[in-house]
Amino acid sequence: MFEKTFFRKECLKRRKRLDLKAQTKAIAAHIEYFFEQHPFEIVGFYVPIHNEIDLQPVLMKLKEKQAIKTLALPKISKGQMRYGVWVPGQDLVKDDAQVPAPRIITEVKPRCLLIPCLAIDGQGYRLGYGGGWYDRYLSQIDIELTIGVLSEDFVFGRFSHEPHDRPLSGWVCENGFTWVKPPRQ
């Protein structure tokens, strides 16, 4: 779809020009508070690429506090995305999508995913890089909470989506969390 392709390229160009230090600090504070109030056994996250928000420091802190017991990273191999346990210092190699991932994975099924977004709309539909990996993964697994991670600059009222697109539960940006489907208490 041309509109989506153009929008994706424009968002990526715009994000690469931004200095996201202040946004990253604010988002990390929101994430820390949220997980202290809502602990999770297994949380999936991502290795930042293309100037994405880096959550690794705050997630390691939450793991030390035991608000999160296990951290997991995605790995794309043989046409599938799976999550594997991540341990700080573990070797990462480029997976089939050329994204850093654990070399060897012990597969786990996270109950909460922190998902990078180029953009998101008010209904929770995420714009990513166009590979459809997260949408396919979310259609195959029952997951409690999916949280998009991005700067407020990339939150839009509505953009086109397709039948296979999966809305997220909500998103976090420097101004805090916005929920489409709030977490259970």
CATH of domain 2-177: 3.40.50.10420
* 129 is annotated as contributing to ligand binding: yes
* CB contact set of 13 (below 8 Å; sequence gap of 6+): none
- The predicted-structure confidence for 95-105, as pLDDT tens digits, reads as follows 998 989 988 88
* 127 is annotated as contributing to ligand binding: yes
DSSP 8-state code for residue 171: E
Q: Report residue 1's pLDDT band, with 50, 70 and 90 as the boundaries.
A: very low
Q: Report residue 15's pLDDT band, with 50, 70 and 90 as the boundaries.
A: very high
Higher-scoring residue by pLDDT: 58, 6? 58
What's residue 185's pLDDT? Answer: 63
* 5 is annotated as contributing to ligand binding: yes
Strand 112-116, strand 40-44: pairing? parallel
- How much is the mean pLDDT over the chain? 92
- The predicted-structure confidence for 124-145, as pLDDT tens digits, reads as follows 999 988 888 999 999 998 899 9
* 156 is annotated as contributing to ligand binding: no
* 179 is annotated as contributing to ligand binding: no
Alpha helix stretches (DSSP H) within the chain? 2-17, 21-37, 56-64, 133-140
Token pair 């489409």 in the structure block, residue: 180
Report domain extents, the chain. 2-177
* 118 is annotated as contributing to ligand binding: no
* 124 is annotated as contributing to ligand binding: no
Query: Could you give the CA distance from residue 143 to residue 149 in angstroms, rounded to a whole number?
Result: 17
Determine the length of the chain.
185
* 83 is annotated as contributing to ligand binding: no
* 130 is annotated as contributing to ligand binding: yes
* 107 is annotated as contributing to ligand binding: no
* 136 is annotated as contributing to ligand binding: no
* 134 is annotated as contributing to ligand binding: yes
Q: Report residue 2's pLDDT band, with 50, 70 and 90 as the boundaries.
A: very low
* 47 is annotated as contributing to ligand binding: yes
* 133 is annotated as contributing to ligand binding: yes
